[in-house]
Structure 1
Amino acid sequence: MDPVSPQVSRDVLEQDEYDEEDLFVEDAVLENDFTFRAVAVGLLVGVLLCMTNIYFGLQTGWVSMMSLQSALIGFAIFKLLPSLFPHFTPQENVILQTTAVATGTMPLAAGLVGIVPALEMMTVREDGREPIILSYGSLVLWCLAVAFFGVFLAAPLRRQVIVKEKLVFPSGTATAQLIALLHKIPPPAQSTHASSTTAAYRRIPRSSRSASPPRDRSASESPERGLRAGEEREKSIDDMGGSGWWMLGWSFAASAGLTILSFLFPILFALPIFDIFGLPFGTSLAASWVWYFTPSLSYVGQGIIMGFPVTLSMNAGMLVGWAVLSPLAKHLNWAPGPVGSSTTGVRGWILWVALAIMIAESIISLIPITLSYATTLLRHHRQRSAGPKVFQPSNSPRASNVTEDDYFDPQPDDADEDPEHEPPERLVPLSWVSWGLGASGVLGVVLVWYVFGQDGIHPWATAVGLVLASVLSIIGVRALGETDLNPVSGIGKISQLLFAVLQPGNVVANIIAGGVAEVSLYVAGDLMQDLKTGHLLHASPRSQFYGQMIGSLASVFVSTAGYKFYTSVYTIPGPQFAVPSAGVWLNLARLLNHGHLPSHVVPFMLLFGTIFGIISGIKAFKTRLPASVQSSPIVRYLPSGIAFAIGFLNAPSFSLARLVGGYIAYRTALSSGRGTTPLWAIVLASGFVLGEGVISIVTLALTSAGYGAVSCFGCGLGGGGYCSGACA
């Protein structure tokens, strides 16, 4: 069936009442969302994002799901080749970006920028054993062990947190809004009349139903509001239709060109601007204290995407960590080693303070989510235990809780609950979830035991890690849906604490166990954002599930090849790739098993952990505070603990470049008049990030072929980072 023009969908949404003919027209657009072209282009985009995430992940530990960029690039590909790819629908774009995200986020999901390099950083002196360096085949098996469990976890959680509770999932909602802008359809909104709309849909006989029920018309309740929204939407579409694509191309080219120039002249990415203050005294601040500036457009783009408040918190942490605590620890001989050392230097000393901040904020922020979930479960239990219920025959075609597709769809206990609006043929059956969780769990236990053997984690411990991930994923996904922050780092550290008791004295087991729990939660969380996008744009959840599985499987081999390529060319950790996440994993595992904390770091851990625990508690329970307190500047501008800690973990050069981007986002939001970053700024940032990430593959190939810097001019002044790596 040929897709219907998006204008038909808009006409349906603008009517006062729905009729069955309109339902069929609306659904005609939705029947063919899982297409070969959507998956193929999604894999292509995902491979680029995968290599980009390996590059940035090894540098700073920052990995993005890139859902906005995936939808944008995918749409651009189809727009540039309209004769080959006609009638590209919004639902196909959802499948495309779902596949791309599953492919692109595997570097973090499989621990390739965290636990895998942490295992390679072990030493005989510190850990009593040689480092574990996995071959390509073993690394593929490890990725296969952890790639799919989170995918099957996401499917059953969708109905609870997206359909019933309607959690926001900000990134998923933003991606849906961008896709709506690109395809010139009305922007999706959270349903406010879902029950009436769904009831009308369910009255249609099952044999006559098409793919999906109608969308909510909340956007058209006010003609004036709808007109204003339409004017803003058309302006954004006009920008994207012309100058927007040029902006994406030029920003990509500018970032790529600067990356190539920095490869040829490393001083460009290691400007020793702070050495000016040290020259009269014959010292080099940049060389001694890791203070230099990296004018990387990709990190400027990251700052635009992160926003001004986050980058401001990050730079506040950078100042406290690298300008206050580092000199203090060095001067008092608490960290006598080289400044950049993650073991005996100040980088390793302040890492513990950052870890205390991250754990404190993660645990405190989970408390209200846990209490809310526990209260909801208790209330439902009491309702069901209150007494026998009188059976009422259902008017719905679903006469049983188990459909012919074996999809479990319990009827709502309360009248205000929103039942599932998708028909069973578009959902992931319960039998698939049950068998998938069982098979992927067994596969994970067997492969982890095969890869690491008796010296690694016991099979029963891996199984416990998977069960723990299943339980914690409920809390983590809810936190992600409400705050857009996936507390994977805190939950991973909680797992490490638990396994220090279950399998003591084994650093390898501790790292792997924490990684297994974190990986499953990370995958489930990111894929839940995609399911939110699909829910708002009415893409088939089953088609998204197919895309997730295909993308995850492909990325197992792509991510492994990319990681092995980088580690064969560069020294990791090294001047260019510090791998800060690996240091966090390894140091905590050492501490919990047989290690000890650096000199005098405990008071600072307690101090900063307490401060950010209190800040996190204020944020978590802000709605219970008096209105005057909620609106006070002190509360509104409280820093993010995670961002503050990242300022400790990353070298100052990266934080400074992100601050530039954050300020750009702030200024453009003010000039837009709407208080949000405009679409053109997001397009600009996407080009910046992708430009350096993609061209890094070229510089990697050149380095492996024996090519290097053309000139090391300026590096002698003390420029670190790129200078240290290319001109050592």
Structure 2
Amino acid sequence: MAQQPTSGSSFPSDLTLDILLRLPAKSVWRFRCVSKLWLSITTDPCFIKSFGTTRPSLLLCSIKCHNFFVTSTPQHTHHSSTRSYSSSQTFHCYPMKLPGEKCYFSNMDSVHGLICIEDADSKKPVVWNPSTNQLLHLPKPNMSSKHANVFLGYDSVEGKHKVVCLPYKKTCYVCRVFTLRSGQESWRTVKTNLKHRCIGYASGQCIKGVIYYLARNSQTYDTVIMSFGVLSEIFRMIELPSGIKQDVLISYEGRLACIDRNNNTRLWILEDADKHKWSFQDFFLPLNEWDMGVSREEHNWTATPYLDNRFKLKGCTHAEIHIEKKHMGTEIPTSPEISEALLLPEPNKTATVILDQDEHVPEWKEQITIRGLVVSALLGTLFCIITHKLNLTVGIIPSLNVAAGLLGFFFVKSWTGFLSKLGFTVKPFTKQENTVIQTCVVACYGLAFSGGFGSYLIAMDEKTYKLIGADYPGNHAEDVINPGLWWMIGFLFVVSFLGLFSLVPLRKVMVLDYKLTYPSGTATAMLINSFHTNSGAELAANQVKCLGKYLSLSLVWSCFKWFFSGVGDACGFDNFPTLGLTLFKNTFYFDFSPTYVGCGLICPHIVNCSVLLGAIISWGFLWPFVSQHAGDWYPADLGSNDFKGLYGYKVFIAIAIILGDGLYNLVKIIAVTVKELCSNSSRHLNLPVVTNVVDDEASEILLVKKKRDEVFLKDRIPLGFAVSGYVGLAAISTATIPLIFPPLKWYFVLCSYFIAPALAFCNSYGTGLTDWSLASTYGKIGLFIIASVVGTDGGVIAGLAACGVMMSIVSTAADLMQDFKTGYLTLSSAKSMFVSQLVGTAMGCIIAPLTFYLFWSAFDIGDPNGPYKAPYAVIFREMAILGIEGFAELPKHCLALCYGFFVAALIVNLLRDITPPKISQFIPIPMAMAVPFYIGAYFAIDMFVGTVILFVWERINRKDADDYAGAVASGLICGDGIWTIPSAILSILRINPPICMYFKPALAS
């Protein structure tokens, strides 16, 4: 007897894969038990995403006897030249079991093979895979209405489904969002921004990562279309064409469309959501053979014919007739989509994909240009100055990424346009080059923060030492190193590059495998991508004009203010008692600072309100109360900056709040990270997904993702290069840092470099999940540990230097992963991202110390009564002293107050996490509250003015506020920052302002 061939020898793997791809989904599901090979093939994510490539069909959907009937027919060949469509063909019926006797379907298509329904009894949303008949019961959302409008969306970037719940027939202020496969156990709250009332069981569509649904404008009561970005989670309002009354939304050629029904049917197609631009297409209804020998009266059926994205118009969509059976309280979806298992294949037809696969992606060397590096250096200098100014005044630094991307786009576009007009041939400005500029600028000005110029480095100087007091326990004269240009540049060069090499080997794991969102990196990528579209370029041009206008106003105003600022710190608009002299004594006044008003426009409302609340608690109640006990709690004759008096309360209570907030968030981020890592290895909340029958959009998404993956993985950074780079730099740094900071011995540095990659991973992972970098918190941990170990013999300097080492590595590693995410989404090479980060870091190692030295030479840095208080210098030095000496010399009751505020910070953070979103959104942020405790209330007033302006602007015109608020804020901040340069030069040349404007009581002599 001849030996039978094995399955492996008879069927090559590619043939097996091809056969499985041609089978219905139910057959594939059953055949997983045939062998481990088939199980491996059919559970592979690439196989699942490639599945379902059959051509579209005409569908009729109905319910009878608790069964869900889908009647389908293969679609005939359609010629794109025709202006209308009609169909007459044979139907085939495929019954399937409903998931429950009573359920409500959301009025939208399935999304990548899943349908979202609502259990009629429990009112809980349920995600259903009809091909495998699997159900995922979600928690009941905390909604004010009994029923909810439930929409299912798909984020093609992260490859995750999101369920969105909105109140049923009630005005929406917030919505609830649940992300599948994320380990999420409860609903998140997202502000709807635009008040609207969702139409009961409104028709909806998810197209290219955007959910569309019908609603009514709460102000005009007009019917509109609301859009919700599944990735960005931002709402937008789109006006319908005039005269449209039919409430059906469909997908047409990958775009949103709605129906206007007259003698024939008119399909309105959304061409431009920003401009509310629509076009139309006419067609005829395919009703000729809706008979099938069934009496509609007998079965109590009502037919509602319409098109959805299964109707093949111009090669991209399909049609169906929707049958509603009004029986037993069960409702049918307007357009339920059925997985491949329920449809007949058409083997001779191939998919039509709307995607330009020939989009040119420049080589990584072409993405890095001379003009890009020049622009990066200019913008890096500007943003370093702005960062230093904010760092040395209030210590709050908003994200300047939008301004960096916008100005980078503007400068290069202006330069290429200018050369083109002169007749020169210029290289096109691509989004990849824009991304490289963005990366380079952010890396450069990031060192102005992580370099410690407003914290651990300046905490070593003589002025901070004298401010704390020469007789203060633990504060020794030998623990003083004044800022020097060359040693600061050298220090940054030996510590700033290690973070870049520490996590390079994990870039694929973080971006592709774990699919971390990195919200700031994703938002930056979306911004850059939008710049390089026609509508996006137009908006960017308008934003640049807006930024330029407010930059000019801010620059002129700052120059005008200088003339009245006189000599000293008591003159000018910076000391204008706008709220009266009594409140002025407690630092409550508006100082007309464009920078702080701009920060108020950028920072979230809750941050600005938290800062103001902290100012009211401290300067409005706590410090006046403590001052009443002068002579009892502390000596009454002490100076205003003596740590044994009121100044000690201000500094140490602020430290207590900062440490409480940092500790809580550190534990929280670590817990979230560990939980997420564990959930990645499990299959919790993981429904097997079968791709849509609508393979056009799915294929487009797959091709886009495939292209992103190819570009991201194409230019590999060798593992050996990364490891050797880290080891080599660590060796150089271990030998060099003790020469700069002798108390920090080489073995402490070496231990830091052994621990740093693990901490860098934790911080990068946490940043990817929450967009919150805890680099300064990791730095403070290193500060306390090293200071306590070294002790009184140089412990302060050693602790502060160790803080810098740890903070630099952890911060730059998280920034690099953010940039990798941005590069992935803009089709930028990972190698160009890494090189631009290296170049930007090298720029920052030179530019950041130079710009800081400009401040150091021109202004009185660290003066508690001046504009450049450097608040964190005192705080960081006190932390180092605390690590050595403890709390022995604190004023009376200061330690008890510190304990109280430390616990309060933990409790407030806990309340923010455990309370319902509609309550937690009003609970303040302790870290933001802590800043004015030490600095004063004046900047809180400025930031609150900014947030009030933004709040009113959003109520008047939300779209304009979303589009231009960032540009206005960036212009205000940049204009004031630019004036710092001529102001510093005038100060160095000893040219003083000609006028001193100050205020005094009317009855004073």
Q: Give TM-score scaled by structure 2 length.
A: 0.57
State which structure, 1 or 2, has the greater radius of gyration over its C-alpha atoms. 2
Matched, 1:319 2:606: no
Matched, 1:349 2:649: yes
In structure 1, which of residues 173, 176, 180 is the aligned counterpart of residue 529 of structure 2?
180
The AA in structure 2 aligned to 1:360 is G
Contact 1:290 1:652 in 2 (8 A): yes
Give the C-alpha shift of residue 301 in structure 1.
Answer: 0.7
Give the C-alpha shift of residue 310 in structure 1.
Answer: 0.8
In structure 1, which of residues 603, 616, 625 is the aligned counterpart of residue 896 of structure 2?
603
Q: Which residue of 2 aligns with 1:95?
A: 436
Residues 1:616 and 1:339: Cα distance change in structure 2 (over 3 Å): farther
Q: What is the DSSP-based 3-state SS (H/G/I as helix, E as strand, rest coil) of the residue aligned with 2:429?
A: coil
Q: What is the DSSP-based 3-state SS (H/G/I as helix, E as strand, rest coil) of the residue aligned with 2:828?
A: coil
In structure 2, which of residues 577, 581, 586 is the aligned counterpart of residue 273 of structure 1?
577
Matched, 1:563 2:855: no
The AA in structure 2 aligned to 1:539 is S
Contact 2:456 2:876 in 1 (8 A): yes
Paired with 2:708 and 2:413, the residues of 1 have a C-alpha distance of: 37
Spell out the pairing of 1:267-346 with structure 2 (5 A cutoff): 267-273=571-577, 276-278=580-582, 286=584, 288-333=585-630, 334=633, 336=636, 341=641, 343-344=643-644, 346=646
Matched, 1:463 2:750: yes
Give the C-alpha shift of residue 162 in structure 1.
Answer: 2.5
Paired with 1:418 and 1:502, the residues of 2 have a C-alpha distance of: 52
The AA in structure 2 aligned to 1:129 is A
Give the C-alpha shift of residue 677 in structure 1.
Answer: 4.8
Q: Deviations over 1:156-196 (max 9, x none)?
A: 343333222222222222222221222227xxxxxxxxxxx
Give the C-alpha shift of residue 661 in structure 1.
Answer: 1.2
Residues 1:135 and 1:612: Cα distance change in structure 2 (over 3 Å): closer
Paired with 1:540 and 1:616, the residues of 2 have a C-alpha distance of: 39
Spell out the pairing of 1:79-90 with structure 2 (5 A cutoff): 79-81=413-415, 82-84=417-419, 86-90=427-431
Q: Deviations over 1:577-598 (max 9, x none)?
A: 1001111110111111125333
Contact 1:315 1:656 in 2 (8 A): yes
Contact 1:169 1:483 in 2 (8 A): yes
Residues 1:291 and 1:25: Cα distance change in structure 2 (over 3 Å): closer
Matched, 1:360 2:660: yes
Contact 1:102 1:552 in 2 (8 A): yes
Give the C-alpha shift of residue 291 in structure 1.
Answer: 3.8
Paired with 2:839 and 2:901, the residues of 1 have a C-alpha distance of: 43
Contact 1:315 1:644 in 2 (8 A): yes
Q: Which residue of 2 aligns with 1:520?
A: 809
Paired with 2:727 and 2:782, the residues of 1 have a C-alpha distance of: 21
Spell out the pairing of 1:303-702 with structure 2 (5 A cutoff): 303-333=600-630, 334=633, 336=636, 341=641, 343-344=643-644, 346-375=646-675, 421-422=710-711, 424-453=713-742, 456-505=743-792, 506-574=795-863, 575-594=866-885, 596=887, 597-620=890-913, 622=914, 629-633=915-919, 635-673=920-958, 677-702=961-986
The AA in structure 1 aligned to 2:476 is G
In structure 2, which of residues 456, 465, 476 is the aligned counterpart of residue 122 of structure 1?
465
Give the C-alpha shift of residue 536 in structure 1.
Answer: 1.6
Structure showing the higher strand proportion among its residues: 2
Q: Which residue of 2 aligns with 1:252?
A: 551
Q: Which residue of 1 aligns with 2:422?
A: none
The count of aligned residue pairs is 608
Residues 1:462 and 1:79: Cα distance change in structure 2 (over 3 Å): same
Give the C-alpha shift of residue 646 in structure 1.
Answer: 1.9
Contact 2:588 2:941 in 1 (8 A): no
Contact 1:274 1:292 in 2 (8 A): yes
Q: Deviations over 1:309-328 (max 9, x none)?
A: 11001111111122222222
Residues 1:332 and 1:501: Cα distance change in structure 2 (over 3 Å): same
The AA in structure 2 aligned to 1:162 is V
Paired with 1:337 and 1:667, the residues of 2 have a C-alpha distance of: 47
Give the C-alpha shift of residue 145 in structure 1.
Answer: 2.1
Contact 1:360 1:613 in 2 (8 A): yes
Residues 1:64 and 1:547: Cα distance change in structure 2 (over 3 Å): farther
Give the C-alpha shift of residue 642 in structure 1.
Answer: 1.3
Contact 1:169 1:484 in 2 (8 A): yes
Q: Give TM-score scaled by structure 1 length.
A: 0.77
C-alpha RMSD over aligned residues: 3.1
Residues 1:21 and 1:277: Cα distance change in structure 2 (over 3 Å): closer
Paired with 2:644 and 2:964, the residues of 1 have a C-alpha distance of: 45
The AA in structure 2 aligned to 1:637 is F
Give the C-alpha shift of residue 350 in structure 1.
Answer: 2.2
Give the gaps of 5 or more residues in structure 2: 1-252, 256-314, 317-350, 420-425, 566-570, 684-705
Paired with 2:862 and 2:491, the residues of 1 have a C-alpha distance of: 21
Residues 1:677 and 1:274: Cα distance change in structure 2 (over 3 Å): closer
Matched, 1:55 2:381: no
Paired with 1:92 and 1:315, the residues of 2 have a C-alpha distance of: 41
Between 1:149-158 and 1:689-698, the stretch displaced more is: 149-158
Residues 1:630 and 1:378: Cα distance change in structure 2 (over 3 Å): closer
Give the gaps of 5 or more residues in structure 1: 1-11, 186-233, 279-284, 384-416, 623-628, 719-728
Q: What is the DSSP-based 3-state SS (H/G/I as helix, E as strand, rest coil) of the residue aligned with 1:125?
A: coil
Q: Deviations over 1:388-430 (max 9, x none)?
A: xxxxxxxxxxxxxxxxxxxxxxxxxxxxx99965464423222
Give the C-alpha shift of residue 26 in structure 1.
Answer: 4.8
The AA in structure 1 aligned to 2:527 is L
Paired with 1:644 and 1:169, the residues of 2 have a C-alpha distance of: 26
Contact 2:670 2:766 in 1 (8 A): no
Structure having greater relative contact order (Cα 8 Å, sep ≥ 6): 1
Paired with 1:606 and 1:182, the residues of 2 have a C-alpha distance of: 50
Residues 1:161 and 1:418: Cα distance change in structure 2 (over 3 Å): farther
Residues 1:362 and 1:276: Cα distance change in structure 2 (over 3 Å): closer
Give the C-alpha shift of residue 446 in structure 1.
Answer: 2.0
Contact 1:291 1:652 in 2 (8 A): yes
Contact 2:375 2:437 in 1 (8 A): yes
Between 1:43-52 and 1:469-478, the stretch displaced more is: 469-478
Q: What is the DSSP-based 3-state SS (H/G/I as helix, E as strand, rest coil) of the residue aligned with 1:532?
A: helix
Residues 1:653 and 1:67: Cα distance change in structure 2 (over 3 Å): same
Paired with 1:326 and 1:158, the residues of 2 have a C-alpha distance of: 49
Residues 1:167 and 1:425: Cα distance change in structure 2 (over 3 Å): closer
Q: Deviations over 1:498-554 (max 9, x none)?
A: 224432221111111122212222222233322222222121121011111111112
